[in-house]
Chains A and B, each alone.
Chain A
Amino acid sequence: MFEQQLVNGFTLGLIYALIAVGYTMVYGVIELINFAHGEIYMLGAFLTLSFISTGMPLALAVVLAMLAVAAIGVLLDVIAYRPLREAPRLAALITAIGMSIFLQNLAMIIWGSRPLPFPRQALPAFFNEPAFTFSDVTISWMQVIIYVVALLLMVALNLIITKTRIGTAMRALAQNRTAAALMGINVNRVISFTFAIGSGMGAVAGVMVSMYYNTMYPTMGYLAGVKAFAAAVLGGIGSVPGAMLGGVVLGIAETLGAGYISSPYRDGVAYAVMILVIIFRPSGFLGRSMVEKA
């Protein structure tokens, strides 16, 4: 039982981690809690559904949804956040929440407010069958797919951030935006790139969750967004490996908390962990210590 919950928690945690990197990267470069990131994740699930309903194979639908959602993420930045770069921080935060409400209700108008099932016929039949069985622990093929996809995406992301020029530019921006601009970095292009990558990974997380739980609904972004943000804080906001670690720890904590403490307070575990971490270790597991910026 314990081992099984550990496995389920790990699955959930990898998905949180995928969403959390979107938060943490955006926070790293423009210091904004992108409240609309949860809605980006939700759009990933719904766009995949729409692409599948045109008769597209699953993999193609996911890739297309990922690209579409990446474009939406960039648009979000260009339309809503870019004009407010120099405005008070509060204005940008309210804009982010406003966009979140806008996107959520837009999805309700397009796809209706009722939960929709993930189209089963689009999934290969073996997905729900156990891939591995150890005494009383089973890992389904779906879980294996989630592990593989999530880990591949994270390795790719780490390579981009550490090995490429644009990754170096992102890190430079996170250190000091003005200095980066003075060194000839096209700041807006790097920020757009950050939004694109973060949103694309969020979209994949959205698809995988709706496959895993076989349901999607327009308000699903809110809770997942909050938990992923908690994961980002837990790992140390601004740190990409931190967000991954934070996601996994939070997923496991949540599953164990639901199993052993109280299942109605399942979501409360995320908030409680987040509050305790912020109070006792604001820099998270892997974050640099934050100083009040002048």
Chain B
Amino acid sequence: MRGALNTLKYLIAAAALAYPLMPFRDVYVLHVLVLIMVYMVLAMGLNILPGFCGLLDLGFVGFYGIGAYTAGLLTIHYNMSFWLIVPLAALNGAFFGIMLGVPTLRLVGDYFAIVTFGFSELVVLFLTNEIWLTRGPLGVPGIAPVDINFTWLASLLGIDGRWRYAFRGEVPYYYLGMFMVLFVYILMRRLEDSRLGRAWLAIREDSMAAASCGVNLLVYKVIAFAVSAGIGAMAGSFFARWTLFISPDMFKFWESFLVLCMVVLGGLGNINGALVGAVILIALGEVLRVALPRLGLPAETRFLAYGLIMVLIMRYRPGGIFTQVAASTMQSGLIKELRAKLAARRTA
């Protein structure tokens, strides 16, 4: 079973790598696949908060928007390289994450959810109204595509010529997106197994117990918020340099909800679940977009169906596809583990 699953995994990976080079590739399909990659990164980034830490963030799209606008404006005004912009956007996202996180993270449950929601609405209002900076509702057009510039290497090697490759079409973005997904995936896997990740899980399972075991709640929560916001902003910076146009209504609450649905659908706290959730919901959206008009239904039925499907999924599988071990057993196991560690330290 496990062997078969592994083989399947490699087959999917090989197919995904080869697809853009095949003669039967389709530009629309490629576009949807790149979109799925953007949402995979968003879903993995959001997963840190509700999944690992048990904090419901309804304002994730705010950081996505901050990242996209940081990237778009830096590209337009300073013609900066993509490779510099991504870390800058991520840092800017993380900065806003910390600014929002420090005063709000001591809130619990729905209060935290509502404050983050308010934050993302304020981001949209800012992007819409600060016309001097963002051009307001008109959006930012004409963002340069990603380019790879190795001219410096050429001059270093003493060779003449400009080694420069500007991305055109979907294929290079496809591979760049894949690289980004892989990067974030490995980061998540490493985080999950790290001291930091274990502290997050402890906070999710029982924040009181974690605090009494010496986990500094505020510090670990702020780190979680910064990492999550940074990844959201990173996805935004990729998005801006891929679509080449951004506007405030791309970053409305609906997007936060969509990403949250991906995370919950896949199974909270499960990294593979976040990936699968992104594939299912984006693919579902595209299938509905194509199928419903053929059945003679108006375009609004797409979102109607979307809302209904989410309700049905929650009704019949509230824990998501990859449901984690039941929280109660998890909790006793974790607390046992923490107790054992504490005892070991005492005897040492």
- B-binding residues in A (CB < 8 A): 31, 33, 80, 83-84, 87-95, 97-102, 104-106, 108-109, 113, 226, 229-230, 233, 262, 264-265, 267-268, 271-272, 274-275, 278-279, 282, 290, 292
Identify the 9 closest CB pairs spanning chains A and B, nearest first. Answer: A101-B307, A102-B307, A91-B318, A98-B310, A87-B318, A271-B118, A105-B304, A98-B311, A264-B129
Measured CB to CB, the closest approach of chain B to A285, in angstroms, equals 15
Q: How many A-B residue contacts, CB cutoff 8 Å? A: 121
* Complex contact A33–B314 (CB within 8 A): no
* B107 in the interface (beta carbon within 8 A): yes
Measured CB to CB, the closest approach of chain B to A271, in angstroms, equals 4
A267 and B115 alpha carbons, distance in the complex (Å): 15
* Complex contact A268–B125 (CB within 8 A): yes
Tell which of A101, A106, A113, A265 has the most Cβ of chain B within 10 Å. Answer: A101
A229 and B315 alpha carbons, distance in the complex (Å): 25
Taking A226-B117, A268-B125, A282-B107 as given, write out 16 further A-B residue pairs in contact, using a Cβ cutoff of 8 Å, ordered by the A residue number: A33-B110, A33-B114, A80-B311, A84-B318, A92-B314, A94-B257, A94-B264, A95-B315, A105-B303, A105-B304, A109-B298, A109-B304, A264-B125, A278-B104, A278-B111, A278-B114
* Complex contact A94–B310 (CB within 8 A): yes
Q: B303 to chain A: which residues have CB within 8 Å?
A: 101, 104-105
* Complex contact A88–B300 (CB within 8 A): no
Q: Which residue in A91, A271, A278 is a CB contact (below 8 Å) of B314?
A: A91
Q: Which residue in A88, A100, A230 is a CB contact (below 8 Å) of B319?
A: A88
Q: Which residue in B103, B122, B308, B314 is a CB contact (below 8 Å) of A279?
A: B103
Q: A92 to chain B: which residues have CB within 8 Å?
A: 314
A49 and B38 alpha carbons, distance in the complex (Å): 43
- A-binding residues in B (CB < 8 A): 50, 56, 103-104, 107-111, 113-115, 117-119, 121-122, 125, 128-129, 254, 257, 260-261, 264, 268, 298, 300-301, 303-304, 306-311, 314-315, 318-319
Tell which of A229, A233, A272, A278 has the most Cβ of chain B within 10 Å. Answer: A278
Nearest neighbor of A226 in chain B, beta-carbon distance: B121
Nearest neighbor of B253 in chain A, beta-carbon distance: A222
A267/B318 contact (C-beta < 8 A), A95-B310, A108-B300 known: no
Q: A230 to chain B: which residues have CB within 8 Å?
A: 118
Tell which of B108, B110, B261, B264 has the most Cβ of chain A within 10 Å. Answer: B110
* Complex contact A278–B115 (CB within 8 A): yes
A279 and B310 alpha carbons, distance in the complex (Å): 31
30 contacts between A and B (CB under 8 A): A33-B113, A84-B315, A89-B110, A90-B264, A91-B264, A94-B264, A97-B257, A98-B306, A98-B311, A98-B314, A101-B310, A105-B300, A106-B304, A109-B298, A109-B301, A113-B300, A226-B121, A229-B114, A233-B114, A267-B121, A267-B125, A268-B121, A271-B119, A271-B121, A272-B118, A275-B122, A279-B103, A279-B107, A282-B111, A292-B108
Measured CB to CB, the closest approach of chain A to B114, in angstroms, equals 6
* Complex contact B119–A102 (CB within 8 A): no
A274 and B48 alpha carbons, distance in the complex (Å): 25
Nearest neighbor of B301 in chain A, beta-carbon distance: A109
Nearest neighbor of A272 in chain B, beta-carbon distance: B122
Q: Which residue in A102, A233, A271, A290 is a CB contact (below 8 Å) of B311?
A: A102
Q: B114 to chain A: which residues have CB within 8 Å?
A: 33, 229, 233, 274, 278
A291 and B157 alpha carbons, distance in the complex (Å): 66
Q: A99 to chain B: which residues have CB within 8 Å?
A: 307, 311
Q: A290 to chain B: which residues have CB within 8 Å?
A: 111
A268/B110 contact (C-beta < 8 A), A101-B306, A102-B311 known: no
A14 and B309 alpha carbons, distance in the complex (Å): 36
Nearest neighbor of B131 in chain A, beta-carbon distance: A264
Q: A264 to chain B: which residues have CB within 8 Å?
A: 125, 128-129
Q: A108 to chain B: which residues have CB within 8 Å?
A: 300
Q: A109 to chain B: which residues have CB within 8 Å?
A: 298, 300-301, 304
Measured CB to CB, the closest approach of chain A to B297, in angstroms, equals 9
Q: Which residue in B115, B254, B261, B318 is a CB contact (below 8 Å) of A275?
A: B115
Measured CB to CB, the closest approach of chain A to B227, in angstroms, equals 21
A109 and B302 alpha carbons, distance in the complex (Å): 11
Tell which of B115, B301, B304, B311 has the most Cβ of chain A within 10 Å. Answer: B311
